[in-house]
Amino acid sequence: MSVLDFVVLISSMLGIAIYGIWRTRGRRDLSAYLKGGHTPWFAIGLSVMATQASAITFLSTPGQGYLGGLAFVQVYFGVPVALIIIAIFFLPAFRRLNVFTAYEYLGRRFDSKTRLLGAALFLLQRGLGAGLTIYAPAIVLTTVFGWPLNLTIISSGLLVIIYTVAGGNDAVTVTQKYQLGVIFAGMLTASCLLLAKLPAGLTCTDSLTLAGGFQKLNAVNFSTDVHERYTLWSGLLGGTFLMLSYFGADQSQVQRYLSGASLREDRLGLMFNAVCKIPMQFCILLLGVLMFLFYQFAPAPLFFNPAASQLLAHNVTGEKLRAYENGFAAAHARTRQQLENWLQARHSGNQIAAGKAFAAAAVARQQGEKIRFAAHQEILASKSATTANDADYVFITFILQQLPHGVIGMLVAAFFAATFSSKAAELNALSSSTTIDIYRHLIRRDASDAECVAVSKRFTVFWGLVAISFALCAHLAENLIQAVNILGSIFYGVMLGLFVVAFFVRHVGGTAVFWAALAAQALVFVLYARLAISYLWYPLIGCAACVVFSLLLQSMFLLGNRNTREFTADGNR
Amino acid sequence: MNCKKRPFPVDDPAPESAATGLPLLRSWKAVYLFVLASFVLWVALLIALTKLFS
């Protein structure tokens, strides 16, 4: 990175953080600090979007598109239906009871122990995952730039803590707007420059045909095999439950949309996401597919991850390393030559020659992939965790090697902006839940607003330091990213189950749902240990088990329940 | 001030009948139908993309 890149990076990041602190200075009222002010729907929509889109979304998703094509978009098929359900049933109930946290609602609908269970599940899974949103982009950026990892983690973590503590929920919402602006500007610039760098003769139809020929445009998979991770059905069914859990039962999102000036603003903010989420993810994945096309005509490295290349050089002899590199380069050159022949034949209308050239290109590409696979096996044999997903490094490698200075700084700023926006929302939600559901509920019931604000700030610092500590130790755990993602999907189903029973099953009381949730969580743990199904199914399983067990326990033991009409979906009408 | 004593309830009692304030989509039912229609359109386009170019 040049001086210009650093100027763009530091000025945009510091500028947004200072603006957030200045705009929200002097917030003393608990409601204003934790819930925010009168946020309009557009700001809520952007805030919800920015909270979900962490830096790894913008680093990894183009890489997913590069390697696996558009199939990943199916994960988001559950978003529209889930957000409509939340807008109709969840939002009015949260609004009517004027709650700070989603778990406060569980306390009013059921009892204290169910509220604490919901808050504990959230704090456990979100607290464990807190370090990841800092660690994941930091490891990619430091590997590529050679920056000190610990310094990157600590400095970015402290900056987020400072402006989240200073301004509370409003600071998060205010800064997220501009952070998302930086992200979109960066991605749009990268897309335009990438399009300009594609070979001159490659038309839009040629690009689509080529990408489709290499199976990169398989956006919808109708397979009913539950072991396949991304299918239409896992996206529609599992994805809906995953998104319902995330948007309806995770305080980091609930806090975003409860900051609206009214129910109308909250709902429109959610509907904005319901409409825009799939196109947004499609565009990011398409950027990856375009990068795939670009690297068919431009020199591509054996590995995009520099650490993997270094490890390979360390593990094999110089002669073997050269054999891998030369073999891959030769296969890549043959692929490129055949694709140029394909393009020429296609434009001259010779379909037979075009078909032959494309088949030869596919064979040459397969040979290159075989060499890459063999080299990857050499790295795996060394039992090192450094080989992590090569997809994470594709986009950043393209940015550094192909884009001009200034734009590089803007895109690195975009990655940090994404880290900050999702991290700040997480810290804010963790501190809100700890203050409202634990401190004010269990420790000091008569705490004043000023005391709650002060305590909330301390909890923000506490969770921020937990996140930084976890990120600093993250390298000790192998496959940490995958572990934390799976952890989230394991807990989400039961968390959602608590809310589904609360809204839709009027006669079930707190004791039944509390024990049902514990039993359902145990069942999910057992199934996870024994089955090898896609993680997208666990939220559905956990939620269904919680609801069924609640009904069984309530009918078997006729446990008491109070009048719940005003707390359930009935109360919305 | 004791922070337990907050106003309750706060929003209007019949949220589904409230106006959306949008020029063409005046009811919430229309908004939800618009969202679902745009979702169906996107999935149809993605299926078409898959079928046409694979």
Residue range A343-387, pLDDT digits in tens: 999 889 888 999 999 999 999 999 999 998 888 888 777 665 554
> Which run of H or E residues covers position A272?
helix A263-297
Determine, for residues A263 and B18 on separate chains, whether the beta-carbon distance falls below 8 Å.
yes
Per-residue pLDDT at B4 exceeds 80: no
Question: How far A444 CA lies from chain B's nearest CA (Å)?
Answer: 11
Determine the residue type at A202: L
Give backbone dihedrals phi and psi of A99, rounded to 5 degrees, phi first: -85, 155
Asked if residues A474 and A132 have their Cβ atoms less than 8 Å apart, the reply is yes
Q: How confident is the model at residue A84 (pLDDT cuts 50, 70, 90)?
A: very high
Which residues on chain A are in Cβ contact (under 8 Å) with B22? 268
Which residues on chain A are in Cβ contact (under 8 Å) with B43? 77, 220, 232
Which residues on chain B are in Cβ contact (under 8 Å) with A282? 42, 46
Residue A235: name the closest of A61, A71, A77, A68 by CA: A77
- Give the CA distances from residue A278 to residues A72, A281, A363, A401, B47, in Å, rounded to whole numbers and listed in that order: 11, 5, 34, 29, 14
- The burial class, CB within 10 Å (0-12 / 13-18 / 19+), for A226 is middle
Cross-strand partners of A260: A39
Cα(A282)–Cα(A278) distance, integer angstroms? 6
Asked if residues A278 and A49 have their Cβ atoms less than 8 Å apart, the reply is no
Coil/strand/helix, residue A262? coil
Lowest mean pLDDT among A210-219, A291-300, A313-322, A472-481: A472-481
Question: How far A356 CA lies from chain B's nearest CA (Å)?
Answer: 17
Best mutation site among A90, A96, A203, A270 for testing chain B: the one with the most B CBs within 10 Å?
A: A96
Cα(A413)–Cα(A399) distance, integer angstroms? 12
Residues A328-343 have a mean pLDDT of: 92
Q: How many helices (H) and strands (E) does chain A have?
A: 24, 0
Nearest CA in chain A to B18: A264
Lowest mean pLDDT among A72-81, A165-174, A278-287, A399-408: A165-174
pLDDT the model gives residue A362: 92
Cα(A447)–Cα(A14) distance, integer angstroms? 35
Report how far apart the first and last C-alpha atoms of chain B are (Å, whole number): 65
Best mutation site among A86, A214, A267, A439 for testing chain B: the one with the most B CBs within 10 Å?
A: A267
Coil/strand/helix, residue A556? helix
Q: What is the pTM of this model?
A: 0.84
CA atoms within a 13 Å half-sphere pointing along the CA-CB vector of A82 = 25
Q: How confident is the model at residue B48 (pLDDT cuts 50, 70, 90)?
A: very high
Q: How confident is the model at residue A295 (pLDDT cuts 50, 70, 90)?
A: very high
Lowest mean pLDDT among A116-125, A167-176, A273-282, A438-447: A167-176
Which residues on chain B are in Cβ contact (under 8 Å) with A208? 49, 52-53
Which residues on chain B are in Cβ contact (under 8 Å) with A84? 32, 35-36
- The burial class, CB within 10 Å (0-12 / 13-18 / 19+), for A120 is middle
pLDDT the model gives residue A538: 86
Per-residue pLDDT at A60 exceeds 90: no
For residues A31, A249, A161, A456, the Cα torsion angle rounded to the nearest 10 degrees is 40
Task: Considering only residues B39 and A377, tell me which one the structure prediction assigns the higher pLDDT.
Answer: B39
Residues A385-412 have a mean pLDDT of: 79
Which residues on chain B are in Cβ contact (under 8 Å) with A68? none
Determine, for residues B39 and A88 on separate chains, whether the beta-carbon distance falls below 8 Å.
no
Cα(B49)–Cα(A31) distance, integer angstroms? 48
Determine, for residues A275 and B14 on separate chains, whether the beta-carbon distance falls below 8 Å.
no
Which residues on chain B are in Cβ contact (under 8 Å) with A219? 46-47, 49-50
pLDDT the model gives residue A274: 95
Determine, for residues A220 and B21 on separate chains, whether the beta-carbon distance falls below 8 Å.
no
Nearest CA in chain B to A272: B35
Cα(A495)–Cα(A265) distance, integer angstroms? 26
Q: Where are the beta strands (DSSP E) in A30-115?
A: none
Cross-strand partners of A340: none
The mean of the pLDDT values for chain A is 83
Nearest CA in chain A to B54: A212
Residue A145: name the closest of A415, A354, A391 by CA: A415
Partner-chain residue, chosen from B3, B21, B34, that has the shortest CB–CB distance to A264 = B21
Coil/strand/helix, residue B2? strand
Q: Where are the beta strands (DSSP E) in A165-263?
A: none
Determine, for residues A212 and B9 on separate chains, whether the beta-carbon distance falls below 8 Å.
no
Which residues on chain B are in Cβ contact (under 8 Å) with A263? 11-12, 15, 18
Per-residue pLDDT at A12 exceeds 70: yes
Asked if residues A197 and A294 have their Cβ atoms less than 8 Å apart, the reply is yes
| Long-range CB contacts for residues B18-22, cutoff 8 Å, separation at least 24 | B18/A263, B18/A264, B19/A264, B20/A264, B20/A268, B21/A264, B22/A268
Task: Considering only residues A144 and B43, tell me which one the structure prediction assigns the higher pLDDT.
Answer: B43
